[in-house]
Structure 1
């Protein structure tokens, strides 16, 4: 049960992260934002690890770190591209399928497999998350799925969901081969460096001034990234990946609350139905 509480905390902080990013993207280049926020995520986690004491590294540490870093960078670039060329209402629902993919990828990579009841709970969370994220423009619920065959943006985001289902397993391997702080701090550093390279290549404005002007925002989001990492890593150390990431997808529930109260979004009725499905799925997962 403790793992569930940490996974829910991870979901809350994850929703907070996306809410803050959504607000900052109105003023800051996406790659500059990623560079700054992940750097401070690294700084916070590395500092904690420094005072706590660096862990003994397992044989698969470097392989896992570089693998999850590369997959996450590719996923972020693809998701930015998808959001640029396709409506949000057709792309965001695709992320809901990550827990479904995890049933297969976690079994192949880690030998982890949910119970039949657990699979049912996961699929309820996937369906509920899909419904929640499909309400942005009041389109038909099947529109995002149909768009996969005719729209590159939707296909890109489905690929992103699959990439996350692989990187999540590497994330657990990072934790198992280090601890809940150090390994993820190195991942954050590498992600920050890779986005810095992309930023320099793009030469988007005066980078030094941008980093200085938005430093408080970068630090705040970096703190949230650190909180996400610690919460989810604790859960991953206690439970199989498909369950943890499925519960983390409850971030959609918190995102709905942020959307209603902060961004004044509507479509509450259908979102309520999706939220109920996700809640039921989470109850089933922790009940068996």
Structure 2
């Protein structure tokens, strides 16, 4: 199935982009790291648009784009902040909850719903996340929720999951009313402009603009930030043309397995075995979703 291949590519790039964002934000700050996601993605996305061609654009595309620009300005601000504040292996798995939020949204917006196996798969994804965030030092069914309450990064990522459930559904609407390539260029251009004031924000005491210093210090790192996003975006948008958003996003979140490993290998995070074991629920859920 073509959409499964595209979804798997999305998962790998999704994990790599998350791990790289966490590393980069420690070097250049939240503003430049967030802006680079979209600004440095534009050359690759423009090339993709040239290959695919400029499509006819439905009049309904522009309101959907406007809504998603607002949602993504908020969502990506919280996303980068969550990665900076929390552990990669704890915060990133929470994004797997997005498919759970997507189901009722898709039913309302697109009049589409997954089958019984798809629903079971989404529930398994949610169960996997529950185990991933369970603290090893506490017991009780509410222990994961108490752990989340103590983690500002985790709380922010929960908000991101809810926001991306909405924007992910409208992503598909925008793609169907234009094309993946056109939508990628339009959305990234708007977000690059929207995040530019934050990237240019001066430091304390009238320090030089953070963005200029960041580009001089980390040109390759900022470019990689954008290239990872561009690759992930193209794979995801193409998959959304072929399958329900809940299915595509569930497969994308299976990249959590790689982020847990990255957290242990590159950031010295603990609890790796427990988190890896819990991802089996995520993977089982992805299998059911792909069949559902």
TM-score category of the 2 structures, normalised to the smaller one: 0.7 to 0.9
Q: Name the SS for the 2:117 alignment partner.
A: helix
> CA contact under 8 A between 1:90 and 1:143: conserved in structure 2?
no
Separation in 2, partners of 1:264, 1:85: 15
Aligned to 2:245: 241
Deviation digits for residues 3-30 of structure 1, max 9, x if unmatched? 1111111011000001111221221111
Aligned to 2:171: 171
Aligned to 2:101: 101
Separation in 2, partners of 1:139, 1:100: 28
Q: Name the SS for the 1:271 alignment partner.
A: helix
Separation in 1, partners of 2:52, 2:89: 44
Aligned to 1:275: 279
User: Once structures 1 and 2 are overlaid, which stretch shifts more, 85-94 or 224-233?
Assistant: 85-94
User: 222, 227, 230: which one pairs with 2:231?
Assistant: 227
Aligned to 1:254: 258
Distance 1:176 1:10, change over 3 A: same
Separation in 2, partners of 1:50, 1:250: 31
> CA contact under 8 A between 1:91 and 1:144: conserved in structure 2?
no
Separation in 2, partners of 1:151, 1:271: 17
> CA contact under 8 A between 1:93 and 1:130: conserved in structure 2?
no
Deviation at 1:82, TM superposition (A): 5.3
Distance 1:146 1:259, change over 3 A: closer
Distance 1:268 1:87, change over 3 A: closer
Deviation digits for residues 98-127 of structure 1, max 9, x if unmatched? 111111111111112111211110111122
Distance 1:155 1:208, change over 3 A: closer
Aligned to 2:221: 217
Distance 1:161 1:115, change over 3 A: same
Deviation at 1:78, TM superposition (A): 3.2
Structure 1 vs Structure 2 CA RMSD: 2.6
Aligned to 2:44: 44
Separation in 2, partners of 1:158, 1:222: 24
> CA contact under 8 A between 1:89 and 1:144: conserved in structure 2?
no
Q: Name the SS for the 1:56 alignment partner.
A: coil
Aligned to 2:114: 114
TM-score (norm 2): 0.87
Aligned residues: 285
Separation in 1, partners of 2:275, 2:89: 13
Separation in 2, partners of 1:265, 1:275: 16
Distance 1:128 1:217, change over 3 A: same
Structure 2, unpaired ranges of 5+: none
Distance 1:81 1:12, change over 3 A: closer
